[in-house]
Chain A
């Protein structure tokens, strides 16, 4: 999130406080004192993690506090998990397996590496799944467990 703050004491706190109040986790704050805008405001770049549903409420609150929000860039998919699948991965319709995750709207398969040792042998796949948050990732993994069970695949999850 890019903000512009007035050059007077207490402005940064004013901008940061609502983020914690809305349950956000601040990752970094860059305060560009040396790059004052023509209007005499100080650009500040804040990176934080927050539940998607709470973002709008936060933005409204910041605006009503008099903070100028220049732009909000969302990197929607924050959680990343690696899993391994073993079994007849291709013949049990790998496209369907991926679609089932992608169609959730909150998670997607970002990377796939498959190893096929022989025609009748079990294949192995490494799948990288991204999701919008921890809760969503849990749901995506549960979905994948069901798919693996249905297709008789062994799913290996991280600890």
Chain B
């Protein structure tokens, strides 16, 4: 049995969700892959849990749910996550702090510290790979450790690992898809119910599908960040958010959706990179019945390749359990590399 010691930095919805899934999947992963993940530290903004003998991940998840993480016997009040990453005897750091697309912090510092401490990094945090991709990649390489971020693009939907592990012999010529579930939900509801944008947005906010400040999603910023990650990781480009042409969905009206529908189209917010050209996010007409015409909160991505032709994957783009699927895939991938 291979013992792999992990740290989780950022114990919010995603971080604690990963802990829960690690606990629930422990036996499955042990028997199928011969790997035993041992959680040895948790980093939060107000302190850390440090426990070289292992933290029960389910217990930590439950404490977090009751907002009593600081009652854990190994809680170290006000301890800094950077110190935890430097000092803890761990193999892999799961970085799950909130996304900041301007500076990438605090995630960026956590990741750089981890690489310099010879620890692999797995993340679903879009900020750091969107603002400092090449720097992160080079630092990881220099230290002989891996940087995996499948969960940062499309939640559960496999894209980066699909390209790296399964489409190895293919050149990827183009990518297009729906990378934001909130926008997809809003446009789908507006289209099927003929409701105005503001009404559907407030409905989405009530359901927890859209944030109180929806700017990040509806203005296409989130989609653009994911495109930046794909451009850098898959096409080897060196682009950042400012290199993307972005138009959001706030101007879409029910009348426009109806006119599109009458001619056999739906309108979707599509992120696109073709032949290493400037990445683009914009509402586009998609023929009904086309593989990209998925509804609800689903994400979908279509890869244009030289050998395999078009490959399309669709799946849930958000949610703690779904994102954990990608994070665990990366964890196991690192252990098996």
Contact = CB atoms under 8 A, between A and B. Distances in A.
Interface string A109-120: 000010111000
Interface in B225-279: 247, 251-256, 258-260, 262-263, 265, 267, 270, 272
Interface stretch (B114-122, B161-169, B280-288): B280-288
Interface stretch (A27-35, A60-68, A123-131): A123-131
B255 A157 contact: no
Contact of A113 (B247, B254, B259, B265): B259
Given A86-B251, A122-B251, A158 B285 contact: yes
B285 A86 contact: no
B262 A84 contact: no
Contacts of A86: 251-253, 256
Contacts of B131: none
Nearest to A82: B263
Given A156-B267, A158-B286, 4 more contacts: A113-B259, A124-B255, A158-B287, A159-B270
21 contacts: A82-B265, A83-B285, A84-B267, A86-B251, A113-B262, A115-B255, A115-B258, A123-B255, A125-B259, A126-B259, A126-B262, A126-B263, A128-B263, A156-B256, A156-B260, A156-B282, A157-B284, A157-B285, A158-B287, A159-B270, A159-B292
A124 B285 contact: no
A25 B101 CA distance: 48
Contact of B251 (A83, A113, A128, A154): A154
Contact of A159 (B251, B253, B263, B286): B286
Contacts of B176: 159
B236 to A, nearest CB: 24
Nearest to A154: B251
Nearest to B259: A126
A152 B110 CA distance: 43
A124 B284 contact: no
Contacts of A84: 256, 259-260, 267, 285
A154 B285 contact: no
Contacts, number: 66
Contact of A156 (B272, B283, B287, B290): B283
A122 B285 contact: no
Given A82-B265, A113-B262, A126-B262, A159 B255 contact: no
Interface in A101-159: 113, 115-117, 121-126, 128, 154, 156-159
Contacts of A82: 263, 265, 285
Contacts of A115: 255-256, 258-259
Contacts of A123: 255
Contacts of A116: 255
A83 B285 CA distance: 7
A9 to B, nearest CB: 38
Interface in A13-49: none
A158 B263 CA distance: 12
Contacts of A157: 282, 284-285
A158 B265 contact: yes
A126 B260 contact: yes
Nearest to B260: A84
Q: Give the one of A86, A116, A154, A156 with max B CB within 10 A.
A: A156
A84 B263 CA distance: 11
